[in-house]
Each structure stands twice: as C-alpha cells, then as structure tokens.
Amino acid sequence: MKRRAFTAGLCASPFLLIPSLGRARTHPRITFIVLMDASGSMYENHPATPHQKGRVPHWKTQRDGHIAAFLNPKVQDLLIMQNALVYVLCWAGPENILNIVSDNGVVVTTRKDTEEIALRIQENTPQSTLPNSSTDHISAISEALHIYTSRGKGDLVIDISTDAGIFPDRQTQMAKIRDKVEYYGGTVNVFAVEISAEDQMRTLSRLVRTKNGFIMPGTYNSYTEGIQQKMLHELSV
C-alpha cells in the first residue's frame, strides 16, 4: 500500500525533511502511552487558538498540538534515543477507548516513525465524541496498564491530557489503579487543561499522578506549546 505524505494544514512541517538518526537500540527502553481526551466537552465549539481561525472544538486543538509534538525534532530525538514503543489512545467514558495509531504500537527508531504517528493522529482522531461521552480516567489508565502488562517493553510512561478532575464516587477506584501503575514501576504525568478549580487539580495530583510523575497545568490557547514542553520534560527524565 502506498503511504501518503504528511502535509495536513497546520501540521505540514520542514521537520519532515530532516534525516533520521538511524536505529538507536534493539529493544525499547520505554513504553510511551499517550492518552488524548475524547469526552463530550472536547467536542463543543470554542474561540480559536492563535494557531487557528474561527471557532473550533477543543479536540482539534488537542489533535494539532499532539501532531506538532511528534513532529518536534527534540521530541523525535528523545523518542529515538529511547527506542520508544509508542501508543496513542483516545478515551472518554467507561470502556470507551480508541487506539488511533496501532494496536501493536510503533517502535520509534527514525524520524519517519514519528511522522507516521503524526499522520495516524491526523487521520484517526475521532471527529465526534465516543459513544459514552463522560470522563472516566480509570478506564484510560487501566487500558494503558493492560497494554503495558500484555505487550509493553522497558519502563512505562503514561501521558494523559484531561480537562476534568476525578469525581468523588470514582476516587477510591482511581487510587487503586494509580497504585497498580506504581507497582509496575510506571509513571503517570498529567496535562491538566483549563482546570481552575483547586479541588479538581488536587484530585489529579493526589489520585492520578504517580509519586515519580508530575502534573502540568495548561490552556487551549497555548496547548501546542504546552504539550511539547510536557513531552520534552517527561522523555528527558
């Protein structure tokens, strides 16, 4: 099958012309699982970010930010150096998880691999919310952990983006899932987007973020810059 070049709008980039760094290692040092929020709030129309025109839903801002991150040469280099096994999932309510890159993940050994990830995010990010449009961080982290324990390699790093905290009736179960991630030596880092309520931020910090992880606040106006900064930080540790 002939593979199409990646030239979509905002995401067309001169980074695609940079030569690959070649194969770094035979086995992945990390399994890097990116969890993109696909709950109902992401599909409402909102004012444009500086990178876009007109009113756009947050899912497009999120999608374009993640594409830009995987096309960032510094992010690419860090993924290549760690021979990262990458998965990208969209998540919403209970049991609503969509793997948008590859069921087997993508092992990053060249910049071409990250370009392929970016292309699949562009093509496969859903344009409407998943059937259950609620927000269930438990299902997202549980699926990431299942992927890691069944076919992951190296250390586990989970990158989750969200615009909501943990509801009271879900907090005990969320803590149990987070503890399981820590049992396997994994890390959960949180990109908390436009969450102004301190109690919601505390639930993410206390129940989702692992002890060796971090939580980074962000906005949709600066989403592209924020998610790139987050990936650079978590892949450099």
| DSSP per residue, 222-235 | THHHHHHHHHHHHH
Splitting the chain (237 residues) into consecutive groups of 10 residues, what average pLDDT does each group show? Answer: 37 35 65 96 69 74 97 98 98 93 96 98 94 94 98 97 96 98 98 95 98 96 96 94
Q: What is the pTM of this model?
A: 0.86
End-to-end, the C-alpha distance of the chain in Å comes to: 38
Q: How many residues does the chain have?
A: 237
The pLDDT score that the predictor gives to residue 2 is: 37
Q: What angle do CA 231, 234, 236 make, to 5 degrees?
A: 100
Which CATH superfamily is 20-236 part of? von Willebrand factor, type A domain (3.40.50.410)
Q: Which two tokens stand for residue 94?
A: 């209970």
Q: Quick check: 81 and 24 in contact, CB under 8 A? A: yes
Q: Taking the CB of residue 225, how many other CB atoms lie within 10 A of it?
A: 16
